[in-house]
């Protein structure tokens, strides 16, 4: 297996497994797979046969759309069919309905234990106990029966037996209701009952939702109406309190303010004129008698009689003001009534006549009296007019201040009015929306009562099942068999992980140690006797060729080195080191002409004589014991060498076992004997004791030139090989011989077989 030995992984200490390796692991432990497969298949068959036949019946229910178009009447139930089916299923599969169905059709009889069911239950309980003992299952208490003697398990089984599934192209055209049970007739009846329950429950739910919707909208409408009236009251009270200062009256207030400003200006001008007239009359009153007594009295009287009456001018001014007020205000306006009174008073005084127009023929005293009376009257009239003008001026100023305040308050009232108006509009809109929804809900409720809305209608009634739909025993048995085989494979890999089988091929050894594998010795099933050598039985076999490869590799390691003595050992006993040593010696002597000596160094369990098929009286142990008795030198003739298989091959067996082998192996006699034998033979192979059980290999390390470790494939534990390598060290450690390999060799190893 030279090509395999050259394949070195990137990192030592990690074994890389190929898919073929996994297959080989399964094949090597195929007994577990076969046993698990057979046991699992038998259990599956028994369990499948014990299952009772189950029948299923289904009914198809069509979801008919609303008969009145939804543009005219909106449906009360706006949820999808899937959501409604879930709700209906929860209601129909409630405890009350299920208990009524169980009692009506006496479904508890199906739960009566039969021979098969009792066997099945016992099997389940046994499996649960096994799992509970392994800590993989927690045993739960059985559910207590409900009132009326119906157990929770029966209710749960009934729920699992009922299936509701949507069908149709769009997924919302129809749905099926299915029920499975043990009796075909009962299955059909239960399915029809379930379909009827779905139809009745759908009608009940829709009517209840329509009624609840109407009642809810009535309550909301009353609350919305109450809120709307409250908003209306707040808006009305605000307008009443802010009358005259509302945003819509701003222009009127501004025009009135302009008119009042003009009126105030006119009043102030009239007040100035009235005060001037009063001052004139007050100046004329002291001089009226003196003017009449003078010669000019007549002229003055004439002048006074011809002077125009100021009351006429005043009367005209008052009439103009009255006309202006009437154009802007009603007759009830206070200033209009005041002007009317003043005009009436002046008109009455004007009707009494002008005393200044008397004839000059009258006496001077009478004229003076009349003049004085006239002047006093004019003075009184002027004073009255001034008083009236001042009062009017005060009223106009008060009105101006009032309108100015209204204009100033308008901007603050505008925001408050907007807030109140917005709240009112929102309440009004909410009320109108609720009113519309209430009318729509009333129409929907009327539609539900007349059954013109969406309805469930049975298309395919439940049929009487003639054949059970489960269990499918073929599929169950096939599935159980496959799972059993899978469990067997899992057990194999679990065992491989917990107890690895050792090294299977040279790549495993080379990926673990930085030491080459010198040879791969395959298992030879054609060997007739376990104490026969394959190199003697079949010199042209693949196994014999592997020993030749082993020799060539040892020779390549010896080039340029003085290596002559090689010890073949193993980590533990039973690895095949003795038979490997003898076969290698046969190949060296017979095929390559090397003068070879096999020295048996295992004094505890010597085994070479079983392969020589002869009896000897003395051996290596006797030679070493003679040295301990006082002899200092052993002649070559006194060494009991046995010729074997070839004239160039000799064997020095131990011949007998001793307890204290370390003292013999470490003696000077042993050292001298090896020096003597090295002079007579080209290669000396020592069948050394195992490394781990004994300390003898520590002694051989000092006298040998190289150590070869024999490892039995798939048998020696990897930890044992690691310990052996650490005990031997790397100084004289040459390599491994992988013995008893069970994996098939590649094609090119069959070349030697083809030659035959």
For residue 301, the model assigns a pLDDT of 45
Distances (CA, A) of 565 to 558, 609, 688, 705: 11, 21, 12, 5
Q: Are 703 and 664 in contact (CB under 8 A)?
A: no
From 323, 353, 383, the end of a domain falls on 353
For residue 419, the model assigns a pLDDT of 87
Q: Is residue 536 part of a domain?
A: yes
Q: Which of helix, strand or coil describes residue 145?
A: strand
Q: Is residue 200 part of a domain?
A: no
CATH number at residue 550: 3.40.50.300
Q: Which of helix, strand or coil describes residue 58?
A: strand
Instruction: For CA atoms 540, 544, 548, 553, give the dihedral sign.
Output: positive
Calculate the CA 366 to chain-centre distance. Answer: 125
Q: Is residue 711 part of a domain?
A: yes
Q: Is residue 714 part of a domain?
A: yes
Q: Is residue 238 part of a domain?
A: no
Q: CA angle, 438 as apex, 435 and 440 as ends, to 5°?
A: 115
Q: Which residues pair with 63 in a beta bridge?
A: 456
From 338, 353, 368, the end of a domain falls on 353
Helix ranges (H only) for 450-515 are 473-498, 506-510
Model confidence, pTM: 0.48
Distance CA 2, CA 520 (A): 9
For residue 179, the model assigns a pLDDT of 93
Cβ burial 484-515 (10 Å sphere, 16+ → b, else e): bbebbbeebeeebeeebbbbbbbbbbbbbbeb
Domain that holds residue 342: 310-353
Q: Which residues of the chain have pLDDT under 50?
A: 1-13, 146-147, 171, 295-307, 355-362, 628-631, 748, 754-756
Q: Is residue 188 part of a domain?
A: no
Six-digit token pair at 172? 């919302």
Q: Which of 324, 309, 323, 322 is nearest to 381 (CA)?
A: 309
For residue 303, the model assigns a pLDDT of 44
Q: Are 599 and 650 in contact (CB under 8 A)?
A: no
Six-digit token pair at 356? 């200044």
Q: Are 487 and 94 in contact (CB under 8 A)?
A: no
Q: Is residue 234 part of a domain?
A: no
Q: Which residues pair with 736 in a beta bridge?
A: 517, 709
Residues 6+ apart with CB under 8 A from 474: none
Task: Supply φ then ψ for residue 535, to 5 degrees.
Answer: -70, -25
Q: Is residue 265 part of a domain?
A: no
For residue 592, the model assigns a pLDDT of 92
Q: What total number of domains does the chain contain? A: 2
From 353, 377, 406, the end of a domain falls on 353
Q: Which residues pair with 522 in a beta bridge?
A: 741
Q: Are 29 and 495 in contact (CB under 8 A)?
A: yes
Task: Supply φ then ψ for residue 463, to 5 degrees.
Answer: -105, 165
Distances (CA, A) of 418 to 153, 252, 357, 742: 68, 20, 69, 101
């Amino acid at each position: 297996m030279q090509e395999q030995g050259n394949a070195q992984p990137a990192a030592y200490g990690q074994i890389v497994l190929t898919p073929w390796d996994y297959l080989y692991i399964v094949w090597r432990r195929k007994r577990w797979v076969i046993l698990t497969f057979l046991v699992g298949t038998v259990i599956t068959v028994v369990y499948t046969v014990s299952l009772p036949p189950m029948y299923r019946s289904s009914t198809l229910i069509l979801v008919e759309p609303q008969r009145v178009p939804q543009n005219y009447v909106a449906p009360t139930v706006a949820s999808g069919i899937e959501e409604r089916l879930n709700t209906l299923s929860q209601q129909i599969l409630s405890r009350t309905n299920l208990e009524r169905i169980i009692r009506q059709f006496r479904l508890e009889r199906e739960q009566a234990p039969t021979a098969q069911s009792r066997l099945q239950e016992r099997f389940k309980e046994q499996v649960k106990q096994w799992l509970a003992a392994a800590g993989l299952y927690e045993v739960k208490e059985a559910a207590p029966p409900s009132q009326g003697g119906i157990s929770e398990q029966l209710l749960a089984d009934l729920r699992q037996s009922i299936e509701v599934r949507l069908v149709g192209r769009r997924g919302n055209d129809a749905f099926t209701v299915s029920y499975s049970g043990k009796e075909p007739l009962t299955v059909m009846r239960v399915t029809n009952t379930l379909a009827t329950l779905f139809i009745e429950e759908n009608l009940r739910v829709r009517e209840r939702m329509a009624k609840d919707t109407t009642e809810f909208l009535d309550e909301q409408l009353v609350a919305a109406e109450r809120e709307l009236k409250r908003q209306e009251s707040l808006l009305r009270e605000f307008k009443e309190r802010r009358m005259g200062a509302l945003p819509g009256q701003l222009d009127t207030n501004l025009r009135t303010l302009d008119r009042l400003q003009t009126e105030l200006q006119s009043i102030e001008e009239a007040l100035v004129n009235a005060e001037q007239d009063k001052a004139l009359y007050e100046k004329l009153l002291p001089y009226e008698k003196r003017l009449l007594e003078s010669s000019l009295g007549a002229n003055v009287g004439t002048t006074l009689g011809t002077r125009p009456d100021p009351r006429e001018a005043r009367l005209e001014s008052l009439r103009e003001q009255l006309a202006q007020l009437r154009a802007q205000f009603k007759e009830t306006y206070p200033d209009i009534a005041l002007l009317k009174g003043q005009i009436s008073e002046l008109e009455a005084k004007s009707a009494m006549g002008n005393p200044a127009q008397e004839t000059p023929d009258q006496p001077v005293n009478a004229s003076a009296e009349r003049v004085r009376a006239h002047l006093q009257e004019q003075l009184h009239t002027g004073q009255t007019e001034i008083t009236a003008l001042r009062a009017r001026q005060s009223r106009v100023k008060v009105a101006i201040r009032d309108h100015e305040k209204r204009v100033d308050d308008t901007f603050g009232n505008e925001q408050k009015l907007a807030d109140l108006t917005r709240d009112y509009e929102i309440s009004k809109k909410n009320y109108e929306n609720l009113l519309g929804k209430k009318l729509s809900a009333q129409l929907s409720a009327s539609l539900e009562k007349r059954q013109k809305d969406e309805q469930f209608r049975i298309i395919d009634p439940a049929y009487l099942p003639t054949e059970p739909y489960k269990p499918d025993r073929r599929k169950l048995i096939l599935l159980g068999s496959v799972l059993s085989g899978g469990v067997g494979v899992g057990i194999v890999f679990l065992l491989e992980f917990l107890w690895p089988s050792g090294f299977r091929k040279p790549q495993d050894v080379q990926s673990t140690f930085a030491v080459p594998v010198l040879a791969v010795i395959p298992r030879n099933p054609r060997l007739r006797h376990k104490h026969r050598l394959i190199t003697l039985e079949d010199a042209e076999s693949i196994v014999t060729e592997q020993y030749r490869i082993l020799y060539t590799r040892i020779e390549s390691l010896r080039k340029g080195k003085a290596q002559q003595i090689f010890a073949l050992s193993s980590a533990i006993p039973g690895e095949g080191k003795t038979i490997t040593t003898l076969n290698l010696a046969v190949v060296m002597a017979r095929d390559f002409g090397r003068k070879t000596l096999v020295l048996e160094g295992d004094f505890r369990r010597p085994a070479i004589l079983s392969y020589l098929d002869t009896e000897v009286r003395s051996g290596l142990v006797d030679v070493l014991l003679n040295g301990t008795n006082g002899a200092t030198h052993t002649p070559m003739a006194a060494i009991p060498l046995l010729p074997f298989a070839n004239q160039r091959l000799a064997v020095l067996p131990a011949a007998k076992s001793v307890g204290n082998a370390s003292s013999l192996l470490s003696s000077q006699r042993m050292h001298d004997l090896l020096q003597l034998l090295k002079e007579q033979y080209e290669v000396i192979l020592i069948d050394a004791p195992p490394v781990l059980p004994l300390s003898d290999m520590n002694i051989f390390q000092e006298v040998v030139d190289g150590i070869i470790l024999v490892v039995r494939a798939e048998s020696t534990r990897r930890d044992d090989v690691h310990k052996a390598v650490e005990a031997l060290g790397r100084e004289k450690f040459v390599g491994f011989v992988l013995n008893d390999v069970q994996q098939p060799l590649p094609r090119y190893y069959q070349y030697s077989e083809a030659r035959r």
